[in-house]
Amino acid sequence: MSVTIVEHPLAAHFMLVLRDRTTSPATFRTVTKKLTTLLMLEATKDLSTRATSVRTPLEETTGRSLAAPIVAVPILRAGLGMLDSVVELFPEVRVGYIGLERDEATFQASEYYAKLPVLHDARTFVLDPMLATGGSASAAIESVKQAGAASVRMVSVVAAPEGIDILQRDHPDVDIIAGARDRELNDNAYILPGLGDFGDRLFGTQA
């Protein structure tokens, strides 16, 4: 497993906007989409390509095209905030969904919904903005593997050391790409310094 933190001036700027408690839901959604673009560019920089020829308006020329399909699997509901960016970058992307509910007492995740496309021939990217305890991410990765995914990467906005450790234990073959590696989890399993409840901030459902 490798853990890659995207170090780009725009990524740092977008991360600070997301952390700011005064950021509105509309701005939060827009910045999430922009940051996800940077994360996905890093996560896909080693995609395999094949030689392809096309005819321009003037002559025939050769170039490279993607050699294998892409699958994006957001973890509901917060992962939906990252999906639009992936669809724009890869219009032919196959999209699956996994719904996981966390027990607030044990912090354990249980699956309540899964709808996945064909995975065995594709590079699969699991999208979850907050890699906190790692329970949801590990369960989602296990689901896509059982459905046939052979190549999986985890893409998150923020990752906590505890979540990284869990994925290292459960899925050492899965690389992590994130916008930040934060300090720790608090007693309620929220990432510190973090940015609060991602889903609530994304959809404007904060109390």
Structure tokens at 102: 């966390």
Helix (H) or strand (E) holding 144: helix 135-146
Give the position of tokens 């780009």: 8
pLDDT at 100: 85
| Dihedrals phi, psi of 196, to nearest 5 degrees | 85, -160
Q: Enter the pTM of the model.
A: 0.92
SS3 at position 53: strand
Query: Letter for the amino acid at 110?
Result: S
Helix (H) or strand (E) holding 141: helix 135-146
SS3 at position 179: strand
Task: Of 43, 26, 117, 39, give the one whose Cα is nearest residue 82.
Answer: 39
pLDDT at 106: 61
Measured between alpha carbons, how far is residue 201 from residues 4, 20, 40, 72, 205 in Å? 25, 11, 22, 22, 7
Structure tokens at 149: 């995914």
Would you please indicate which residues are annotated as catalytic (active-site) residues? 102, 106, 197, 200
Kindly provide the b/e burial profile for residues 113-139, where b requires at least 16 CB atoms within 10 angstroms of the residue's own CB.
Answer: ebebbebeebbbbbbbbbbbbbbbbbb
SS3 at position 177: strand
| Residue ranges per structural domain of the chain | 3-47+65-203
pLDDT at 101: 79
Q: What is the pLDDT along the chain (207 residues), one digit of tens a residue?
A: 899 999 999 999 999 999 999 999 999 999 999 999 999 999 999 999 999 999 999 999 999 999 999 999 999 989 999 999 999 999 999 999 999 877 666 666 778 889 999 999 999 999 999 999 999 999 999 999 999 999 999 999 999 999 999 999 999 999 999 999 999 999 989 999 999 999 899 988 865
Structure tokens at 84: 């639009």
CA–CA dist 57, 185 (Å, integer)? 57
Query: Is the four-CA dihedral 11, 180, 97, 99 of positive or negative sign?
Result: negative
Q: What is the CATH number of domain 3-47+65-203?
A: 3.40.50.2020
Angle made by CA atoms 173, 159, 114, in degrees to the nearest 5:
65
Task: Of 12, 6, 2, 70, give the one whose Cα is nearest residue 38.
Answer: 6
